[in-house]
Amino acid sequence: MSSRLGQIDSVANAKAKYGRLCHLYHYDSEQEPSPNKHPIIGNLGDAIQSIAVTEIYRKMGVDIDSLLPVSRDDLNSYSGPVCTLPMQGWFAKCGQSFPFPWSKRINPAFVGFHLSNRANTRKLFIKRRIHEAMKRHEPIGCRDRNTASFLQGLNVDAYFSGCLTLTFEKRKRGPAHGKVFVVDLTLKMLNQLPRQILERADYSITHYFAFRNNPLSMADCIESEQAAQGILDRYREEAELIVTDKIHCAMPCIAMGIPVVFITNNVGDARFDVLRGLLPLNSHYEMNRIDWNPPPVDFEGLKSAIANNAMATIEGAQRNDRGMRSRFKHELLNMTTAMEEIFPSNWTRCKRKAVRAIASIIPFEKTRKKIRRLG
C-alpha cells in the first residue's frame, strides 16, 4: 500500500466511532408477524461489499471489533451512537422503504455510492432534496459513472470512485488444478456455453442466500457475511476461471487475480459501467465472440488509488475535512479516465448489437429509441 497512507492518522481520535452497513432487507419483510413467513432471499454481493469496507478499515488501523453495524434500509431511523459511515453500496426505494434522509447521528462518507434508477428512487431522491444535504459532504464518490452523472446534473460535486470490492488483495498464486466456477448464469446463457467450459463447469456456488428468519436479526446478517467470506475463500483457493453475470462476483475475483468472463442479458444496466476498462461486457446475444481463456486483469495501481481514496474519504468525513476527502480524487479520476480506453469499442458494439438482436421482439419505435439512447 502506498506510503502516503501514513499521512492519514486514522486513529487520531481514540473515542471516534466508525460504522459499516449491514443488510437486513427490511423492505422485503412482512408488516405483521405470521407463522407462514416467506424466507428472504438476499444477495451476497451486499455482504461482500461490507467485507470490503471492513478490509479498508483494517488497512486504516481501525479496531474491527469496535465497528458499529448500521442497517442500510434504516438509515433514517438510526438512533445509535454518532458514527462515520462509508456509504458503499446499492441504495433504492423498495416497497415502502426509502433510507433517506439519513439520521443526524450518521456522518456519511460517500465512496462507492450507487443510487438505483428503479421504482422512482431518483424522483423521490430529488423530491426530498437529498442532493442538497449531500453538498455538505462533497465530493461524492460514486460506484458507477451513471450515479456520478445524475448527481452532477443536480449540481453536486460527484465523481466515479469505483467499488471497494475491487480492492481485495491479489492472490500469490493460482491452484495447480483449478476449477471453472459458473456462477448464477441464466438458463439461456448456460445453453450457449461452449463444450470446453461445460466439461469443466462447477455450479456449486451461488450468490443468492436464503435466510432462515423473517424479519432478519443481526445474527442473520453475520451469517450471510460468513457465507460470503467462505465463497471469497473458495474463489481465491480453487478458481482457475469465473464465468458469471454478477458484478460482485466479477469484481472481487479480478481483484484477486482470477480470470473472469462476464456475461449479461442487460447491457443497459447502469451498474455495469463500473467494469468499463477492466472487463469486456459480453452480451448473451453474442456469446460466440467471447474469449473463454482470458488473462488475469492487472490493475494494482488503480486498486491502490481506489483504496487510498476510500481511506482519505472516511477519515475526511470523520474530521469534517473536505481537503482530506478530496486528496486522491483527481489522481483516481485520471486513472479511471485512462482505463476507459481499454475496452470502449467492446462496450459500444455490445450495446448496439444486443439492442438490434431484439428488434424483432420489441416494436420498432421503442428499439430505435433504445439505440439512440445507448449511443
User: What is the per-residue pLDDT across 322-365, written as a single tens digit (0 to 9) for each?
Assistant: 999 999 999 998 888 877 665 544 444 444 444 444 344 344 44
Q: Which residues pair with 21 in a beta bridge?
A: 70
129 and 253 share one domain = no
Q: Which three cell numbers stand for residue 266?
A: 442487460
60 and 107 share one domain = yes
CB 301 within 8 Å of CB 282: no
- Candidates 16, 183, 10, 166; CA nearest to 84 is 16
Q: CA geometry: angle at 254 spanning 50 and 285, to 5°? A: 105
Distance CA 291, CA 288 (A): 9
128 and 191 share one domain = no
Distance CA 23, CA 69 (A): 9
The angle that helices 300-319 and 329-339 make with each other, rounded to 10 degrees, is 150
Structure confidence by residue, pLDDT tens digits, 280-306: 989 999 999 999 999 999 999 999 999
Compute CA distances 65 → 20, 61, 165, 361, whole Å. 11, 12, 21, 53
Distance CA 94, CA 338 (A): 36
Q: Which residues pair with 97 in a beta bridge?
A: 94
Q: Please provide the DSSP assignment of 310-355 as one string.
A: HHHHHHHHHHT-HHHHTTTHHHHHHHHHHHTTSSHHHHHHHHHHHH
Distance CA 57, CA 129 (A): 30
pLDDT value of position 364: 40
Percent of the chain with pLDDT over 70: 83
235 and 365 share one domain = yes
pLDDT value of position 97: 84
Mean pLDDT (the chain) is: 86
Dihedral sign computed on CA atoms, order 76, 36, 40, 230: positive
Domain that holds residue 243: 167-297+343-374
Q: Which three cell numbers stand for residue 198?
A: 461445460
310 and 284 share one domain = no
- Candidates 226, 232, 240, 236; CA nearest to 182 is 240
212 and 115 share one domain = no
Q: Look-up: residue for cell 481483484? A: 255
Distance CA 127, CA 14 (A): 39
Structure confidence by residue, pLDDT tens digits, 214-230: 888 999 999 999 999 99
44 and 153 share one domain = yes
78 and 143 share one domain = yes
Instruction: Provide the strand spans (E) within the chain.
Output: 19-22, 41-43, 68-71, 83-86, 89-91, 106-109, 113-115, 140-142, 158-160, 179-183, 201-202, 208-210, 239-244, 260-264, 282-283
148 and 249 share one domain = no
Compute CA distances 336 → 49, 72, 91, whole Å. 20, 28, 23
CB 71 within 8 Å of CB 20: no
Entry pTM: 0.86
181 and 219 share one domain = yes
Structure confidence by residue, pLDDT tens digits, 136-169: 999 999 999 999 999 999 999 999 999 999 999 9
**What is the total count of domains within the chain?**
2
195 and 293 share one domain = yes
pLDDT value of position 118: 84
110 and 31 share one domain = yes
2 falls in which pLDDT band (50, 70, 90)? very low
CA dihedral 350, 355, 358, 363 (to 10 degrees): 180
